[in-house]
Amino acid sequence: MSNHFADRLCESVKTRKTSLIVGLDPVYNRLPTAITGHRQMNDEFDAAAAVDAIFDFCTQTMRIIAPMVPGVKINIAYFEKYLWEGIETYYSLINEADDLGLEIIGDVKRGDIGHTAELYASAHLENPELTGLEDTITPDAITVNGYTGADGIEPFAEMATKQGKGIFVLVRTSNSSAAAIQDFTDTDGQRMYEKLAELVSEIANKPERIGKNGYSNVGMVVGGTSPDVTTALRRKYGKIWFLVPGYGSQGASAADCIRFCKPDGTGALINASRSIIYAYEKPQYKGLFGDDWKKCIEQAVIDAKIDLATAMQAKL
Amino acid sequence: MSNHFADRLCESVKTRKTSLIVGLDPVYNRLPTAITGHRQMNDEFDAAAAVDAIFDFCTQTMRIIAPMVPGVKINIAYFEKYLWEGIETYYSLINEADDLGLEIIGDVKRGDIGHTAELYASAHLENPELTGLEDTITPDAITVNGYTGADGIEPFAEMATKQGKGIFVLVRTSNSSAAAIQDFTDTDGQRMYEKLAELVSEIANKPERIGKNGYSNVGMVVGGTSPDVTTALRRKYGKIWFLVPGYGSQGASAADCIRFCKPDGTGALINASRSIIYAYEKPQYKGLFGDDWKKCIEQAVIDAKIDLATAMQAKL
């Protein structure tokens, strides 16, 4: 396995023949009753029971998807809700995901400057060498908020590079109110997010960050819902991996999302969360597989892969 | 005690006669040897020993400062470094600070949109009603990163208002590379941070957020190092509490910082971290008090309060 994050992504995307990754956003009340009905996990108001159920669900889900997709994105907010109990579960899941050979993106959106940024980078990208935590591993990459500028991004990029890992910096999000800030436009017609993308690109293009496939370990998060944004960024930043939320439940189509991919399929990770992990709630899958929630998830992954592959073929 | 965060701040700032708050950024290697020399806390590579030492240091420090300052800012990154062990310690410290009557700002800089933002808001502002976590309380206010726009700020503001708590949104940070992003200027000459301030102000000015002293529970984080920025923001946003980092070790003077205060001394919390909590490292205090690290911290707080009061007097 390569010790460069971007090279591992290339390999894994080519082997699994897809840019699709699965986002784990587990909410106790939406878990299958086969899990929450278990007598040790049937109390949503008991922190230990709730995180056990979430751990069980996520682990079983990852076993289903691991042979089919290059990675998972784990959203730490769903774990922070359970305070330290949740954080322990979050790191346990990372160990499980690693055993399954998945690339793991910790969706933590941390951001700060100086020593504080270094500490966040250490917590989320460095495997702790501390008695009591020595068996814990950290994600292969994390998401970073870059509002504080280069000072706030570089400590994360440095740590990621040292550890053979990666970061994805939030550049353009797909929520409706993002434009007020991120599309703020200067006298030269440059937008705020374009300025930030430029700044991320400078950090990403340092020679020590580029892998043998020509990609940097420093990437960008860009929502899939604005096709014009997408095409321009893909063309301009050839060395960048894009992490693309918004496919599936959030309304971005396969055609929108695959604009971030190069013709060989590399260059973007297209994330679907709820449309996959809660597939068993949908009549289309329930009708086919009844209460077999795992089969529903498996089929949803297959369908999403076909959807993306078809869109990719149509583009070529 | 008022159930409106901004009113509690007014009361506490007036009672303590200062805008100074103390930032807890505890690094094991800088703790007094009286603590790290203890046989149960003398191994920096043992997670439990390290967090015990940090907890002990912060608790003792808070006992010294509680009668003198309105609040503490606890930087969660210093705890996240110890993963779930650190997070448990972070929440334990909040309980201690609350017992001491301090207003507690969780410096967490979380930011996201939609359901994810709601979960972060719940983790950091709502007292958990979960078996196993029921004795835990959350901070009085947290810092929030607003790069995603109103969608990313409102869920935090809503939760804070519901809980009688507050938020401080990052508007202008004082690090050297912040300008590239935050001073980005549009065709009308408006800067990025001014745009964000405007947006925060709209959220802050909703009637349900304004307390009896006329301040909102939604405030802004603005670095103390740019006097022109400060004066303009203070004049424009009368209902806003500013959280001002940068006083002390980071180079902002008392005169710079008190520009954020109104003539009655309310309207700003001026944070000093390292210059206070590591006062015992400085020759000026060591010379006076020898190894009595607590006396050094106490004196540093007194000196900082006098420094700010003098600057305030000179301004009036």
Per-residue pLDDT reduced to its tens digit, B238-296? 999 999 998 987 678 999 999 999 999 999 999 999 999 999 999 999 999 999 999 99
CA distance B115 to chain A (A): 9
How much is the pLDDT for B68?
A: 98
Give every CB contact of residue A116 below 8 A, 6+ residues apart in sequence: B25, B75, B77, B78
Give per-residue pLDDT as tens, B163-199: 999 999 999 998 889 999 999 999 999 999 999 999 9
The CATH label, of 3.20.20.70, 3.10.20.30, 3.30.70.580, 2.70.70.10, for the domain at B5-315 is: 3.20.20.70
Residue A37 has pLDDT above 90, yes or no: yes
**If you average pLDDT over every residue of chain B, what do you get?**
95
pTM value is 0.97
ipTM score assigned to the predicted complex: 0.97
> Facing residues of A242 across strands?
A220, A268
Say yes or no for a CB contact (<8 Å) between B180 and A150: yes
Domain ranges within chain A, ordered by starting residue: 5-315
Inter-residue contact A184 to A207 (CB < 8 Å): no
Chain A residues closer than 8 Å to B186 by CB: 184-187
Chain B residue with minimum CA distance to A150: B177
Residue A176 has pLDDT above 90, yes or no: no
Positions of B marked catalytic: 109
Give per-residue pLDDT as tens, A181-209: 999 999 999 999 999 999 999 999 999 99
Residue from A113, A138, A153, A191 whose CB has the most chain B CBs within 10 Å, to mutate: A113
How much is the pLDDT for B24?
A: 98
Per-residue tokens: A96: 């499980």
Inter-residue contact A166 to A141 (CB < 8 Å): yes
Give per-residue pLDDT as tens, B27-86: 999 999 999 999 888 899 999 999 999 999 999 999 999 999 999 999 999 999 999 999
CA distance B182 to chain A (A): 7
DSSP characters over A67-80: TT-SEEEEETHHHH
Helix (H, G, I), strand (E, B), or coil: what is residue A10? helix
A282 is an active site residue: no
- Tell me the average pLDDT across A151-166: 98
Chain B residues closer than 8 Å to A43 by CB: 131
Per-residue tokens: B115: 């359901």
Say yes or no for a CB contact (<8 Å) between B119 and A78: yes
Interface of B with A in 236-265 (CB under 8 A): none
In angstroms, the CA B169 to CA B175 distance is 16
∠ CA(B42), CA(A89), CA(A21), 5° rounding? Answer: 125
> Facing residues of A136 across strands?
none
- Tell me the average pLDDT across A286-304: 97
How much is the pLDDT for A227?
A: 77
How much is the pLDDT for A231?
A: 87
How much of chain B exceeds pLDDT 90, in percent? 91
